[in-house]
Amino acid sequence: MKDGEPCTSRGVSTVLEGVTPRPRTKGSMAWRFLPYELYTIMRYLQYDTLQRLGLEHFDSWAASFGETVTAIELSPEGMGYRTKTRFARFFNLPELISLFKETADVQTADMLQLPVPEAEYVNEVLKPSEEQKELVASFADRAELVRGGSVDPRIDNMLKITNDGRKCALDQRLINDMLPNVPESKVNLCVKNAFEVWKDSAPAKGTQLIFCDLSTPKADGSFNVYDDIREKLIAKGVPREEIVFIHEANTETQKAELFAKVRSGQVRILIGSTPKLGAGTNVQDRLIALHHLDCPWKPSDVGRILRTFKIKKNVEVTDNGKIII
């Protein structure tokens, strides 16, 4: 098959399985991407039908089922505003649902009624330090230069600015390790929350996951958030052997052994990134809390603690604060 060729164009039978989060609000990220995801799935599985209806191109599909609006929103760098056109609502919804269900078997959580525990979501909002405010202002200046075309893209670009913004939101020392360790930082609050949960859940050997996609552990001695969290937890009294990085398990056998230790409560705090600690990580038996230090790109990556067959009710602690980019 050629790149971009629909899988049904040569009579190939295809089954797609997955979990797609239902958008909670129209302003959510999941809602913004839903039309594109829906069209892509239909193009994979119903290309002949879309051709017959004259909807094989996204523009024609969107014109038939979606309405866009242009509104003013905050610019990516957090300074100033810009106009942006986005999907606002669906119309001809009964026809769209009927068409989609020709190849889709939709099962919602309400229909399945699985024994999934309830979760308490806690959004920790922190005030930026003075150094972070100055850094954010510099990001805005850099963005203006990039947008105006006065800087070589190989030297600076929006992707680099966005990445620096995420680093700044996580810990300002990722931008410059000479900057101070602010007591009210996101990392320090996560350490405080994780220690309190560790102490309170000691009788049941409750376990926790800490997700951090940036600043993964390095062997060169440079500052990274993973080592910073572990050393601070150890200083508070958590045994070193109860804190493990997923990066320390390099083979499938080592991962299986590590996951077994988490399920048994031998390892009580497991730290990792979304790719390494996301799908396929079955350690939920004793999970009591989940911490997100940096906001994941996909809504489905928030809530991995919500799995069936838990020992007790779980609490999800989301330490993503306000990320300014």
Residue with tokens 């810009």, as numbered in its chain: 82
Please tell me the predicted confidence (pLDDT) of residue 20: 53
How remote is the C-alpha of 267 from its chain's centroid? 24
Contact 80, 73 (CB under 8 A): no
Return the domain boundaries, the chain.
Answer: 29-112, 121-318
Q: What is the pLDDT of residue 208?
A: 92
Q: CA of 245: how far to CAs of 63, 262, 313, in Å?
A: 48, 12, 25
Contacts of 247 (CB under 8 A, 6+ apart): 216, 217, 226, 272, 276
Strands 121-123 and 81-90: unpaired
pLDDT digits (tens, 9 = 90+) for 266-313: 999 999 998 888 767 888 888 888 898 987 766 556 655 665 444 444
Alpha carbon distance, N-terminus to C-terminus of the chain: 40
Show the tokens assigned to 38. Answer: 């829906």
Cα–Cα distance for residue pair 197/194, rounded to 1 Å: 5
Q: Where are the beta strands (DSSP E) in the chain?
A: 66-74, 81-90, 121-123, 207-211, 243-245, 269-272, 287-292, 316-318
Six-digit token pair at 278?
């996301």
Question: How far apart, in whole angstroms, are the C-alpha atoms of residue 170 and residue 184?
Answer: 12
* pLDDT value for 87: 77
- Share above pLDDT 70 across residues of the chain, in percent, rounded to a whole number: 78
For residue 123, list its beta bridge partners: 318
Asked whether the beta carbons of 58 and 39 are under 8 A apart, the reply is: yes
Which residues in the chain show pLDDT less than 50?
Answer: 1-4, 8-10, 19, 21-31, 308-325
pLDDT at residue 298 in the model: 65
Q: Which residue has the tokens 């051709």?
A: 51
Predicted confidence at residue 196, as pLDDT, reads 94
What pLDDT was estimated at residue 14?
A: 63
Indicate the length of the chain as a whole number.
325
Q: Which residues pair with 208 in a beta bridge?
A: 269, 289
Q: Smallest Cα–Cα separation from 124: which of 30, 189, 73, 66?
A: 189
Topology given in CATH for the domain delimited by 121-318 = Rossmann fold (3.40.50)
Give the tens place of pLDDT for each residue, 57-84. 988 998 898 888 888 877 766 667 778 8
Rounded to an integer, what distance in angstroms lies between the CA atom of residue 223 and that of residue 181? Answer: 11
